[in-house]
């Protein structure tokens, strides 16, 4: 970004964050469903699942964090759709501002809001018995993966928000993303699954990301999972960003 674009993005980011701060229920709502899953699986199903030497809440937390992000980015698509329908983009484009700053403001707002939701979920998990033997470097790696994953899904949300024809359609894209962790190693080890389901679970992005986060949080040496996880995050981010830019150009050109 140029200095002018950074300044425009910062201004629009401040506007978006003010809107979020005036309706904190957005962040609370984003965190409610993951926390409900956390409570349900730990206190209802946790006793029937062998999570090894770690507590089940510690085993479960990485998947819940990804669900939190998938839930949170739906609001980006929703807000973007409302701005498009309300003619706000046209008003911004009539001003001497960098056009890409409009999208980046929404993306960075999503990143900030999701990080707050993630902190809330980790706090609840800690009260439920989550303990980590991760080093500061491990925590930085966890943060880096979560930021990359949030950016990747947020740019997917931008595509959905720009392409949707209704409010429901703008946020509905997140439902498959929320369900994907259920067919992964997030809740149970993949070796307990039947053949075809196990193959899918072991070759979809959530499993490698969850495994990398789990190893980092528990202080286990991280194997090739972290590189696979990073490849998935960067790959999804690159494709989603490219498609979002193309979709945006077509919308403002039309």
The number of angstroms, rounded, from the C-alpha of 85 to the middle of its chain's C-alpha atoms is 25
Q: Choose among 90, 107, 94: nearest CA to 1.
A: 107
Burial pattern 95-123, b for ≥16 Cβ within 10 A else e, equals: eebbeebbbbbbbbbbbebbbebbebbbe
Q: Kindly tell me if the per-residue pLDDT of 22 is higher than 90.
A: no
Condensed to tens digits (0 to 9), the pLDDT of residues 216-233 reads 999 888 888 899 999 999
Give the pLDDT band of residue 104 (cuts 50, 70, 90): confident
| Per-residue model confidence as pLDDT tens digits over 149-188 | 999 999 999 999 888 888 777 778 788 888 899 999 999 8
Closest to 246 (Cα-Cα) out of 100, 108, 102, 104 = 100
Cβ atoms of residues 150 and 111 within 8 Å:
yes
């Amino acid at each position: 970004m140029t200095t002018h674009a950074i300044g425009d993005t910062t201004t629009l980011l401040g506007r978006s964050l003010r809107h979020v701060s005036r309706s904190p229920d957005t962040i609370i709502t984003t965190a409610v469903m993951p926390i409900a899953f956390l409570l349900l699986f730990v206190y209802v199903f946790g006793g029937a699942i062998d999570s090894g030497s770690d507590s089940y809440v510690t085993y479960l937390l990485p998947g819940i964090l990804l669900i939190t992000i998938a839930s949170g980015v739906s609001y980006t698509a929703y807000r973007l759709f409302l701005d498009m329908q309300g003619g706000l983009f046209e008003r911004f484009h009539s001003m001497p501002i960098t056009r890409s700053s409009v999208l980046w403001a929404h993306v960075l707002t999503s990143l900030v809001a999701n990080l707050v939701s993630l902190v809330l979920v980790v706090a609840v998990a800690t009260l439920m018995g989550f303990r980590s033997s991760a080093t500061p470097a491990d925590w930085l790696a966890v943060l880096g993966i979560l930021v990359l994953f949030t950016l990747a899904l947020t740019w997917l949300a931008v595509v959905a928000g720009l392409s949707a024809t209704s409010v429901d359609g703008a946020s509905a894209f997140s439902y498959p993303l929320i369900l994907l962790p259920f067919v992964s190693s997030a809740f149970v080890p993949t070796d307990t699954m039947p053949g075809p389901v196990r193959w899918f679970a072991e070759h979809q992005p959530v499993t490698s990301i969850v495994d990398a986060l789990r190893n980092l949080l528990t202080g286990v040496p991280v194997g090739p999972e972290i590189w696979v996880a990073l490849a998935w995050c960067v790959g999804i981010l690159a494709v989603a960003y490219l498609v979002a830019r193309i979709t945006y150009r077509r919308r403002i050109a039309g």
